Amino acid sequence: MYQYQSRIRFSEVDRNRKLSIAGLINYLQDCSTFQSEDTGFSVERLLEEKQGWFILSWQIEIDSLPSLGEEIVVSTSPSSYKGLFANRDFTMAYPGGKPFVRVRSIWVLMDLEKGTPLRAPQEMRDAYGMEEPLEGDWGGRKIKLPEESLLVDAGSFQVPRSYLDTNNHMNNSHYIEEALAVLPTGSHITGMDEAGEILAVIRFLIEM
């Protein structure tokens, strides 16, 4: 299991001095990116080879979120490869403690020129290693809205260049920031699912 330790910064917290959901997503993305950098499959190398990793879905369970200044440990590892897809798990915990955030995710390696998915080479799989999947009832990847759901048009916006990442793609943390902006004030998020690449569908589990 790959790990790195950090401390929650002022720029990462919300008005309650807790790590924001977008900040959480950035920690997860950074952890997998650091593993790639440290195992020889850096962003620079992949871009030279016209390749890049894309996230297809997140399933996130949140028991609590750390506060400003607290030390945390973020961990990640692939848990399986199924055809073209890579399943990767994450946890966030206090040093020496049990995880308070548990995450399952699905990724795909893309040919950036052709726009087609690639099978991760065995050399890359060996470098990343493999761990047992996180236990739990995660359900399916497909997001189903309850029949009584009320869909509200939250408007549209033009994606600014500052939202684009090294894949020339609107980064997932910004999708989530925009979705959070339309939630009722005071919503307490206990979990999140996200699916889709061209059309992002995000479901938050909230307590009012």
* Of 135, 58, 140, 137, nearest in space to 99 by CA: 135
Q: Based on the structure, what is the number of domains in the chain?
A: 1
Q: What is the pLDDT of residue 201?
A: 44
Q: What is the pLDDT of residue 94?
A: 97
- pTM of the complete model: 0.79
Query: d(Cα 144, Cα 11) in Å, to the nearest integer?
Result: 34
* Of 87, 106, 26, 97, nearest in space to 64 by CA: 97
Q: What is the pLDDT of residue 207?
A: 44
* SS3 state at 60: strand
* Of 48, 63, 70, nearest in space to 103 by CA: 63
178 — phi, psi (to 5°)? -70, -40
Range of the structural domain that residue 165 is part of: 2-207
Q: What is the pLDDT of residue 150?
A: 60
Q: What is the pLDDT of residue 56?
A: 87
Q: What is the pLDDT of residue 183?
A: 67
DSSP, residue by residue, 81-136: EETTEEEEEEEEE-TTS-EEEEEEEEEEEEETTTTEEEPPPHHHHHHH---PPPPS
Token readout for 50 is 């016209």
What's the CATH code of the domain at 99?
Answer: 3.10.129.10
> Consecutive 10-residue runs of the chain (208 residues): their mean pLDDT?
97 93 93 97 96 90 94 97 95 96 94 95 96 82 61 72 78 72 63 48 44
According to DSSP, the residues that pair with 204 across neighbouring strands are 192
Query: d(Cα 116, Cα 196) in Å, to the nearest integer?
Result: 15
Q: What is the pLDDT of residue 117?
A: 96
Q: What is the pLDDT of residue 24?
A: 94
